[in-house]
Amino acid sequence: MASPTPTLDDDGSLECPSQGLALCEAVAHVMRSLFHTRLDDTDPTRVLIPEHFSRELLEDCYLAVDTVYEAARGRNEYSTQWTLEEYIAAQDAPKGKTNAGNPDFSPAVSPRVNEQPTLVEVPCHVSDSEGKVLAWYLPGLISRRRQAAVEQSIVQLDGDSAKGLPLDGSRSSPWRTNAFFFREPEECQVNPGCVCFSPCWYSQAHPPPEYQPTPSQSMNDPANVSFLEDIQEYNAIMGGVLAIIHPALFETAMDSWKAIYADPLLHFQAGTGRGPPWNMVVSFHCSVLDHQPGDTTA
């Protein structure tokens, strides 16, 4: 099976080799452009929108941008009294030893706590004492329409998947499949469980250099492939959010995907000639967990 010859963009980076990667980059470009119009108070209609964008996708891009912008404004900001570097240094300190210079790592608080009530439905961000963002809280980021579509895809995945999504009730089980972190089956619309998708990883007990990375076995299940196709636009929107709040990490992730696609061995092993699995963008390790219906927190 031949691997596509990688080509370069004008800036020297790899071109998008698949429809899914191209969609993710297009959505990221549109969302970043819309975000800058909010920052600069300029006309958003001047942003060029690809012809293949549906009305629903564009509306969801606008919604996500507005949510991140609201969180970035600081209306509902929380901050710590310590820096990220101080926290990391304390975690790296030898066990049993304390550094007298370490600050009190108390929870983040709102500087306006005495001026206005805490609004859990308002987007916000948490920063350290130097203004570095530690976390984003983005309720309402994903439209209810798209939430419902993703939920339906999860229901369909649960009904069609040839392999069950088992949980383990023992204390020694990893968090990913630990039943403690899931609702009781009778409270769920689908069977509680977990499934991982990876284009290339080293299977358990198959480390390098003796073995080569391969796709996870879940990618061989047609039901899983259909699920990933169904949530392609959702993943592209989440990629657009990442492109706004952490551009460097977004570019690193995209470069990793392009490198995987351009590698002849990985391209062959991942079965890219089949088409569907590589016409989409998904997380390297994407867990599908039962969740609260209507939950819009990202």
Is a pLDDT exceeding 50 seen at residue 28? yes
Which range, of 26-30, 42-46, 54-58, 161-165, averages the lowest pLDDT?
A: 161-165
For residue 223, give the amino acid letter: A
Q: What is the pLDDT of residue 283?
A: 32
Residue 288 lies in a domain: no
Examine residue 102 and state whether it is found in any structural domain, yes or no.
Answer: yes
Is 156 part of any domain? Answer: yes
44 phi, psi to nearest 5 deg: -70, -20
How many domains are there within the chain? 1
Q: How much of the chain, in percent, has pLDDT values that exceed 70?
A: 74
| Domain annotation covers residue 161 | yes
Average pLDDT on 79-90 reads 88
Confirm whether 286 is domain-assigned: no
Taking Cα atoms as reference points, which of 105, 100, 99, 101 lies closest to residue 81? 105
The amino acid at residue 151 is E
Helices (H), 8-75: 19-40, 55-73
Position 295 in a domain: no
Q: Which domain holds residue 126?
A: 19-278
pLDDT tens digits for range 247-265: 999 998 888 888 877 775 5
145 or 115, higher pLDDT? 145
* In-domain check, residue 87: yes
| 178, HSE (Cβ side, Cα atoms, 13 Å) | 9
Residue 275 has pLDDT above 60, yes or no: no
Q: Radius of gyration of the chain from Cα atoms?
A: 22
pLDDT of 285 reads 31
Q: In whole angstroms, what is the distance from residue 197 CA to residue 160 CA?
A: 16
In a domain, 27, yes or no: yes
How many Å apart are CA 125 and CA 68, to the nearest integer?
A: 9
pLDDT value of position 162: 60
